[in-house]
């Protein structure tokens, strides 16, 4: 301790702890401890000890008497969180109106990683040789010469002797014990490994991107290429350039289901896999990856949106694959869009960002059109492959038979496809067997007990399920209302019902059903995807899971069962989403040069989305949609935020929402709408009301919301608020 507090004021540092705190707290730095900005430290907080990040150089908080400050407990032996990462955390907290501590928590997800990984103890050959050389000893010495470092058991095993032989040699001085750093989690990718031959069009884009990948300056590039144009191959050149420049690369992927084939392709190209980061990674592996990313030992990470918060030592490039995908939006605690935040991360740290898609989001397209983003295009499929021939099946004119969902036109096409030894994909974006079950006698509908939603019939599991809260009951035989047996009817189709229809009508066809909720999880899914790619299925039936990214060589027919499904809700993004999904799913057909087609079943064949899909005129869709957004001042031409107020009773939720509305200041650029019941009015037993804030592009949305919330009463009782800046569905 400092002898004289007056002459040598105690050193203090602000520490941000990963809890819902709105600012760093000050701590004293004990004599002999060194803590720099970014250091990960342990601090006392109330009765607990928590890990936190030293935030600034500036001496902490003058609200607290320095003599009363509690000291840091420990400074971890761990690379500090880089300056640009700390600025990023601040920025995200400010933008999303989330307490900075909660954003910091996303960056500190692997607590055990703060301690260094233990070194590995091994045996190394010396020049000493024992006098007596037996056969076994000779084998050990010869084997040991092959590699520098061995574990005792590994060497014994490789030489085919018992460990005691190795022990004996060790005692006689033929080996010495050495300690080496832990193995890297993944081997280093080699930028020159499997460089692909490229078409002229690909080459041109790849050359541009490889220049970009090596730059140490912020830029955003939209790589827009039709399905099967080889976008991955092309952006790999930017990855190679960044690795060659000695920097780290992050590739964001929207869906874990896609990861395996991506990892294989990456491996083929770079001779080693990237490190994976998503919810399916074991905690042990997570710690290793977190640590080695921080140490700069891992060069490339491929992962889900949360990978954006990994503590990279020297991040030099982020790629957002399928940038339009809704899975990039996190709607849980901190509401953020990983694509937008990737761009922010690049701007703060000064590195290039590449957004890849066949169907970019309207926001990204506008940014590219206005020249804010560079725009690279791939107009044709790789090799000889042509895009599928697309047409609409008007269900008003050619409806399916009663109780059926596949129209005669589509059925004929399926039979023709199978007869040629090719594959058909039937797409319906709805899990389970039927979205609604009702009693034919009394009209009772099965509803979730804690949400304002219908229960979905899942026949394969024999249950009725709520897709919003996870509630599940055994499928009853009698109506709980009137008691009548065997009169429950399924209304509408889900993928299981389409699979049943195929099994009934085409019993000899090999059918595979793909849906995220089927037993067996990711491993089964991977097996099924492989089976499809190997041609071991005739008909594939699936949800949006099959729409994305996959490459099935024999797939030549795609049928969309209910293309209107996404258009039904009043969401202004409905047209965009539907267009993207239909475009992506039909893009699974004909990727290897076989003639292919897509049939889209719709009741709205005049709808602009359906017309754009059928004609393949992507530009017409964007022109119209962009004009529409501009007219309505919707994003990206205007700004939006949603505030959802929830409570145990409807009354509490509504009255708090009204109080917030009342507190909203007058602002010429911003308007608060509502409150109205949220689209899901009751969720997990909580009643929900929603306020929308709409304003012009430059409107100060965040400060308006802060002022509103500061003026409103604090949430009391069961009331809770959720703030969603740039909501994706509204």
DSSP, collapsed to helix, strand or coil, labels residue 483 as coil
The residue from 100, 191, 228, 432 that contacts ligand ADP (CB under 6 A) is: 228
Least distance from C-beta 392 to ligand ADP, angstroms?
Answer: 23
Q: How far apart (Å, rounded) are the C-alpha atoms in residues 675 and 659?
A: 10
CB under 6 A: which stretch of 99-107, 197-205, 326-334, 528-536 binds ligand ADP? 197-205
Contacts 24+ apart (CB under 8 A), 129-132: 129/174, 130/169, 130/172, 130/173, 130/174
Determine, following the binding rule CB under 6 A, whether residue 423 of this chain makes contact with ligand ADP: no
For ligand ADP, the closer CB: 168 or 230: 230
Could you tell me which residues are beta bridge partners of residue 694?
Answer: 640, 671
Determine, following the binding rule CB under 6 A, whether residue 198 of this chain makes contact with ligand ADP: yes
What are the start-end ranges of the H helices in 81-184? 83-96, 100-107, 135-144, 152-159, 163-171
CB under 6 A: which stretch of 222-230, 240-248, 460-468, 721-729 binds ligand ADP? 222-230
CB under 6 A: which stretch of 169-177, 231-239, 303-311, 391-399 binds ligand ADP? 231-239
The residue from 26, 98, 202, 602 that contacts ligand ADP (CB under 6 A) is: 202
Residue count of the chain: 730
Scored b (16 or more CB within 10 A) or e, 54-80 reads: bbeeeebeeeeebeebeebebbbebbb
Determine, following the binding rule CB under 6 A, whether residue 598 of this chain makes contact with ligand ADP: no
Least distance from C-beta 556 to ligand ADP, angstroms?
Answer: 15
The residue from 231, 297, 431, 583 that contacts ligand ADP (CB under 6 A) is: 231
Compute CA distances 453 → 83, 448, 688, whole Å.
Answer: 46, 6, 13
Closest CA to 196 of 243, 231, 248, 224: 231
Least distance from C-beta 532 to ligand ADP, angstroms?
Answer: 14
Q: How far apart (Å, rounded) are the C-alpha atoms in residues 688 and 339?
A: 28
Residue 219: which of ligand ADP, Zn ion, none does it interact with, CB under 5 to 8 A by kind?
A: none
Determine, following the binding rule CB under 6 A, whether residue 460 of this chain makes contact with ligand ADP: no
Write the interaction track for ligand ADP spanning residues 374-403; mark x where CB under 6 A is met and - where it is not: --------x---------------------
The residue from 233, 323, 394, 625 that contacts ligand ADP (CB under 6 A) is: 233
Closest CA to 685 of 648, 643, 645, 716: 648
For Zn ion, the closer CB: 382 or 446: 446
442 is in an annotated binding site: yes
- The token pair at 32 is 């002999």
Determine, following the binding rule CB under 6 A, whether residue 229 of this chain makes contact with ligand ADP: yes
491 is in an annotated binding site: no
451 is in an annotated binding site: yes
Determine, following the binding rule CB under 6 A, whether residue 364 of this chain makes contact with ligand ADP: no
DSSP, collapsed to helix, strand or coil, labels residue 2 as coil
DSSP, collapsed to helix, strand or coil, labels residue 263 as helix
Least distance from C-beta 516 to Zn ion, angstroms?
Answer: 18
Write the interaction track for ligand ADP spanning residues 289-328; mark x where CB under 6 A is met and - where it is not: ----------------------------------------
Least distance from C-beta 457 to Zn ion, angstroms?
Answer: 15
439 is in an annotated binding site: yes
Determine, following the binding rule CB under 5 A, whether residue 466 of this chain makes contact with Zn ion: yes
Least distance from C-beta 261 to ligand ADP, angstroms?
Answer: 9
Least distance from C-beta 15 to ligand ADP, angstroms?
Answer: 44
For ligand ADP, the closer CB: 65 or 384: 384
Find all residues with CB under 8 Å of 65, minimum gap 6, and list them.
Answer: none
The residue from 278, 551, 611, 658 that contacts ligand ADP (CB under 6 A) is: 551
Determine, following the binding rule CB under 5 A, whether residue 456 of this chain makes contact with Zn ion: no
For Zn ion, the closer CB: 450 or 516: 450
For ligand ADP, the closer CB: 253 or 567: 253
Determine, following the binding rule CB under 5 A, whether residue 451 of this chain makes contact with Zn ion: yes
Q: Residue 364 in contact with residue 331, Cβ under 8 Å?
A: no
CB under 6 A: which stretch of 98-106, 191-199, 360-368, 638-646 binds ligand ADP? 191-199
Which residue's entry shows tokens 């057909």?
589
Q: Rounded to the nearest 5 degrees, what angle is found at the Cα of 40, between the Cα atoms of 39 and 44? A: 120
Determine, following the binding rule CB under 6 A, whether residue 544 of this chain makes contact with ligand ADP: no
Residue 471: which of ligand ADP, Zn ion, none does it interact with, CB under 5 to 8 A by kind?
A: Zn ion
Closest CA to 38 of 98, 88, 97: 88
DSSP, collapsed to helix, strand or coil, labels residue 501 as helix
Residue 45 sits at φ, ψ, to 5 deg, of -140, 110
Determine, following the binding rule CB under 6 A, whether residue 196 of this chain makes contact with ligand ADP: yes
78 is in an annotated binding site: no
The residue from 107, 159, 448, 701 that contacts Zn ion (CB under 5 A) is: 448
CB under 6 A: which stretch of 76-84, 225-233, 439-447, 521-529 binds ligand ADP? 225-233
CB atoms within 10 A of CB 452: 16
What is the DSSP track for 168-227? HHHHTTSEEEEEEPPPPSSPPP-TTTTPPP--HHHHHHHHHHHHHHH--S-EEEEEEE-T
Q: Which helix (H) or strand (E) holds 532?
A: helix 521-533
**Residues of span 130-189 touching ligand ADP by CB under 6 A:** none
479 is in an annotated binding site: yes
Q: Rounded to the nearest 5 degrees, what angle is found at the Cα of 608, between the Cα atoms of 557 and 569? A: 90
Q: How far apart (Å, rounded) are the C-alpha atoms in residues 475 and 466?
A: 12
Compute CA distances 556 → 385, 512, 551, whole Å.
Answer: 11, 16, 11
What is the DSSP track for 331-372? EESEEEEHHHHHHHHHHHHT-EEEEEESS--HHHHHHHHTTS
DSSP, collapsed to helix, strand or coil, labels residue 602 as strand
Q: Residue 282 in contact with residue 232, Cβ under 8 Å?
A: no
Q: Residue 708 in contact with residue 666, Cβ under 8 Å?
A: no
CB under 6 A: which stretch of 227-235, 425-433, 575-583, 615-623 binds ligand ADP? 227-235
CB under 6 A: which stretch of 105-113, 195-203, 389-397, 422-430 binds ligand ADP? 195-203
DSSP 8-class letter at 86: H
CB under 6 A: which stretch of 193-201, 238-246, 413-421, 677-685 binds ligand ADP? 193-201
Q: Residue 40 in contact with residue 81, Cβ under 8 Å?
A: yes
Least distance from C-beta 515 to ligand ADP, angstroms?
Answer: 22
For ligand ADP, the closer CB: 206 or 672: 206
Q: Specify binding-site residues for Zn(2+).
A: 439, 442, 448, 451, 466, 469, 479, 482
The contact set with Zn ion (CB under 5 A) reads: 448, 450-451, 466, 468-469, 471
Residues making contact with ligand ADP (CB under 6 A):
196-198, 202, 225, 227-233, 382, 551
């Amino acid at each position: 301790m400092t002898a004289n507090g007056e002459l040598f004021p105690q050193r203090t540092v602000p520490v941000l702890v990963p809890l819902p705190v709105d600012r760093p707290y000050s701590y004293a730095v004990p004599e002999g401890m060194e803590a720099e900005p970014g250091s990960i430290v342990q601090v006392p907080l109330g009765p607990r000890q928590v890990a936190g990040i030293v935030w600034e150089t500036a001496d902490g908080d003058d609200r607290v008497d320095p003599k009363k400050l509690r000291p840091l407990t420990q400074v971890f032996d761990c690379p500090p969180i880089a300056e640009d990462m700390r600025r990023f955390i601040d920025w995200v907290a400010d933008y999303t109106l989330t307490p900075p501590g909660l954003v910091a928590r996303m960056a500190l997800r692997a607590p055990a990683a703060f301690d260094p990984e233990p070194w590995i103890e091994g045996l190394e050959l010396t020049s000493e040789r024992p006098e007596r050389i037996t056969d076994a000893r000779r084998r050990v010495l010869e084997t040991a010469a092959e590699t520098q470092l061995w574990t005792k058991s590994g060497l014994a095993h490789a030489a085919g002797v018992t460990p005691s032989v190795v022990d004996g040699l060790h005692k006689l001085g033929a080996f010495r014990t050495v300690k080496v750093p832990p193995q890297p989690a993944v081997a280093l990718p080699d930028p020159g490994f499997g460089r692909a031959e490229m078409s002229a069009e690909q080459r041109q884009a790849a050359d541009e991107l490889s220049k970009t990948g090596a730059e140490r300056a912020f830029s955003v590039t939209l790589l827009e290429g039709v399905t099967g144009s080889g976008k991955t191959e092309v952006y790999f050149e930017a990855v190679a350039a960044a690795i060659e420049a000695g920097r780290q690369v992050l590739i964001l992927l929207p869906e874990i289901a896609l990861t395996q084939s991506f990892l294989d392709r990456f491996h083929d190209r770079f001779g080693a896999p990237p490190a994976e980061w998503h919810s399916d990674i074991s905690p042990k592996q997570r710690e290793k990856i977190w640590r080695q990313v921080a140490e700069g030992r891992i060069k490339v990470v491929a992962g889900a949106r949360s990978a954006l918060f990994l503590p990279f030592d020297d991040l030099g490039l982020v790629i957002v694959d399928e940038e339009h995908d809704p899975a990039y939006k996190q709607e849980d605690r901190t509401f953020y869009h990983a694509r937008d935040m990737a761009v922010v991360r690049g701007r703060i740290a000064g590195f290039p960002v590449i957004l890849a898609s066949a169907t970019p989001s309207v926001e990204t397209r506008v940014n590219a059109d206005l020249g804010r983003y560079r725009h690279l295009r791939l107009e044709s499929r790789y090799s000889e492959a042509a895009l599928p021939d697309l047409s609409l099946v008007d269900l008003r004119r050619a409806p399916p038979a009663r109780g059926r969902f596949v129209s005669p036109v589509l059925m004929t096409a399926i039979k023709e496809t199978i007869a040629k030894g090719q594959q058909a994909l039937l797409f319906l974006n709805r899990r389970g067997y039927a979205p609604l079950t009702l009693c034919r006698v009394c009209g009772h509908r099965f509803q979730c007990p804690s949400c304002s939603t219908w229960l979905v019939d899942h026949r394969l599991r024999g249950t009725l399920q709520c897709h919003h809260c996870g509630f599940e009951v055994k499928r009853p035989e009698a109506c709980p209302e009137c008691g009548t047996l065997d009169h429950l009817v399924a209304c509408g189709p889900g993928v299981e019902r389409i699979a049943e229809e195929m099994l009934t009508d085409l019993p000899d066809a090999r059918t595979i059903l793909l849906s995220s909720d089927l037993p067996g999880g990711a491993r089964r899914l991977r097996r099924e995807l492989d089976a499809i790619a190997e041609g071991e299925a005739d008909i594939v039936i699936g949800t949006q899971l099959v729409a994305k990214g996959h490459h099935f060589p024999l797939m030549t027919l795609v049928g969309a069962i209910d293309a209107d499904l996404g258009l039904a809700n009043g969401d202004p993004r409905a047209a965009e989403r539907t267009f993207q999904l239909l475009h992506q799913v039909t893009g699974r057909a004909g990727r290897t040069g076989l003639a292919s087609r897509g049939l889209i079943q719709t009741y709205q064949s005049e709808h602009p989305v359906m017309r754009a899909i059928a004609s393949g005129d992507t530009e017409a869709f964007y022109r119209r949609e962009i004009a529409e957004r501009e007219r309505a001042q919707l994003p990206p031409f205007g700004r939006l935020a949603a505030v959802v107020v929830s409570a145990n009773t409807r009354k509490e939720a509504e009255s708090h929402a009204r109080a917030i509305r009342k507190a909203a200041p007058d602002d010429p650029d911003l308007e608060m709408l509502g409150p109205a019941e949220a689209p899901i009015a009751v969720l997990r037993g909580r009643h929900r009301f929603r306020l929308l804030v709409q304003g012009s592009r430059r409107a100060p949305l965040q400060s308006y919301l802060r002022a509103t919330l500061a003026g409103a009463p604090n949430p009391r009782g069961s009331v809770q608020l959720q703030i969603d800046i740039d909501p994706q569905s509204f």
